[in-house]
Every structure is written in structure tokens, then in C-alpha cells.
């Protein structure tokens, strides 16, 4: 039985890479089947700020330099969609109708407790693509507004950048709601320049190690999130 599709908000911090932001926008526009919402977070001190296209700037929220997790949560706060997707600017949408597939998952789990995962294109170097029942990675979680509003955040605020996807997918797996879509691909380029100031800051300040330690130390908070969302499953 057909019904109006839910709007999807794609949330993307970007810095120093106006070409990547423009590429992401054009790939989303070319493959969506409805008018979704793509929001960018730009930093006030971005040396490439003036080079972003008007189309990107029109969809942008400005922020002072902070952590990537802060940017994702800021974008979630400003978003209007019923489905929220975490993105980076080094992603290209490949699959026409991806938004329809996300909506079909929501139809299957109307309580809104799920994390959607999909192909990211990084396993094509001489290896077969993952197929069911193999688990897909979750670098770009897709959750519902109900999930977001229940917890009060998209990405756990104690994390800077790393492990935010692990936090979300650990919740989803524990609740039996980690959903693999083998027919949707958002290609994750994951290519960085040597002078990438974001990555240099992350290395200098040891973001990987700090976030991994935070993830280990905050299991109590993770378990609280799991039980809260479990209660929404049973009450729907």
C-alpha cells in the first residue's frame, strides 16, 4: 500500500574540499526520487570558504571549529527529515532510488528503531562485494528522528570523530535492528591529502586513541541508550 515517503536529512560536515561537497550534492540530486534535505556544516575559518558553490552554501550551517561529532549533532538539530543520515564529504551516491529503499526499511520497522547499512565501495579491490548474510560496515549510520530525539543526540557527544558509527551500530546490533542493504551503494573515497589540516589535527591530538578510550570507558552510557531504545520498541 503506497504512501508519501518520509524526507531524509543527509548531514555532512566539510572543510577545505569544496569540490567534494559539490560532488556529493550533485550525486544525491541525481539519484534521489523525492526532494530530500542535504545539509552541510562549514567552519568560519575554512581557508577554502569562498570557493564553495552557491548551491552548497545555501544548504550550509556555519560553526566555529569544533569536533566532527559536534558538527553532526548541530546538523541533526537543524534538520527536518524523519530519517537522518551521517555523511562525510568524500562520499558519492551511486544507487538510484536509495531514498525509497531507506523508506522501505522504516516501513518494516515503524517504531523507528534501526540503523541502515549499505555498500561503501571500498571492498572492490580484487575482492567480491559483501553479500548476505555477511555484515556490512557502518561508517555512515542511518537512523530515525525518533531514535535521535529519544537519545538527544545523533553521535555520542563524548566522542570527537571516531567510534561514533560503532556506538550506533552496537546499539542496533544488540536490539536486532542493524539492517544490511546489499543493493544500495554510497561510495566512500576515503582519500586524504598530505596537507589536510583536519587529519593533521586528528593525528596531532590523537583523536583515534582518545575516542577508542572514551568508547571503552563509557559502556554504562551505551547500555543506557540501548535500554531506552529497547523500551521504545516494546511501547510502539
CA separation for the pair 121, 139 (Å, rounded): 12
Confidence of residue 207 (pLDDT cuts 50, 70, 90): low
Mean pLDDT of 206-228: 81
190 contacts: CB under 8 Å, gap ≥ 6: 90, 122
Q: Report domain 8-235's class.
A: alpha beta
Grid cell at residue 196: 589536510
Residues 83-139 pLDDT 10s? 999 999 999 999 999 999 999 999 999 999 999 999 988 654 445 555 555 778 778
CA distances from 162 to 47, 123, 141 (A): 24, 20, 13
pLDDT of residue 194: 43
What does the alpha-carbon distance between residue 93 and residue 91 come to, in Å, rounded to a whole number?
7
CB 115 within 8 A of CB 169: yes
What is the model's pLDDT at position 80? 97
Residue 169 has pLDDT above 70, yes or no: yes
- Torsion over CA: 189, 187, 115, 88 (sign): positive
Give me the residue spans of the domains in the chain.
8-235
Is residue 189's pLDDT more than 70? yes
Please write the tens of the pLDDT for every residue from 62-84: 999 888 899 999 999 999 999 99
Percent of the chain with pLDDT over 90: 67
**Is this model's pTM higher than 0.85 or not?**
yes
Q: To the nearest whole number, what is the mean pLDDT of the chain? A: 87
Task: Write down the pLDDT at residue 126.
Answer: 43
The end-to-end CA distance of the chain, in Å, is 21
Q: How confident is the model at residue 211 (pLDDT cuts 50, 70, 90)?
A: confident
pLDDT in tens, 18-58: 999 999 999 999 999 999 999 999 999 999 999 999 999 99
Amino acid at each position: 500500500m503506497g504512501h508519501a515517503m518520509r524526507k531524509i536529512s543527509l548531514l555532512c560536515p566539510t572543510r577545505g574540499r569544496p569540490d567534494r561537497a559539490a560532488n556529493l550534492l550533485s550525486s544525491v540530486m541525481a539519484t534521489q526520487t523525492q526532494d530530500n534535505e542535504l545539509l552541510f556544516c562549514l567552519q568560519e575559518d575554512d581557508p577554502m570558504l569562498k570557493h564553495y558553490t552557491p548551491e552548497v552554501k545555501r544548504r550550509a550551517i556555519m560553526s566555529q571549529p569544533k569536533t566532527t561529532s559536534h558538527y553532526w549533532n548541530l546538523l541533526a538539530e537543524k534538520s527536518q527529515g524523519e530519517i537522518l543520515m551521517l555523511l562525510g564529504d568524500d562520499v558519492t551516491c551511486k544507487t538510484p532510488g536509495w531514498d525509497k529503499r531507506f523508506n522501505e526499511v522504516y516501513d518494516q520497522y515503524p517504531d523507528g528503531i534501526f540503523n541502515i547499512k549499505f555498500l561503501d565501495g571500498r571492498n572492490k579491490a580484487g575482492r567480491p562485494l559483501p553479500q548476505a548474510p555477511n555484515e556490512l560496515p557502518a561508517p555512515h549510520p542511518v537512523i530515525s528522528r525518533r531514535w535521535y530525539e529519544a537519545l538527544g543526540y545523533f553521535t555520542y557527544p563524548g566522542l570527537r570523530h571516531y567510534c561514533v558509527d560503532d556506538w550506533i551500530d552496537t546499539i542496533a546490533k544488540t536490539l536486532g535492528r542493524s539492517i544490511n542493504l546489499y543493493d544500495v551503494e554510497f561510495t566512500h573515497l576515503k582519500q586524504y591529502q598530505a596537507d589536510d589540516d583536519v587529519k593533521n589535527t586528528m593525528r596531532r591530538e590523537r583523536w583515534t586513541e582518545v575516542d577508542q578510550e572514551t568508547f571503552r570507558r563509557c559502556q554504562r552510557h551505551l547500555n543506557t541508550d540501548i535500554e531506552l531504545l529497547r523500551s521504545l520498541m516494546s511501547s510502539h
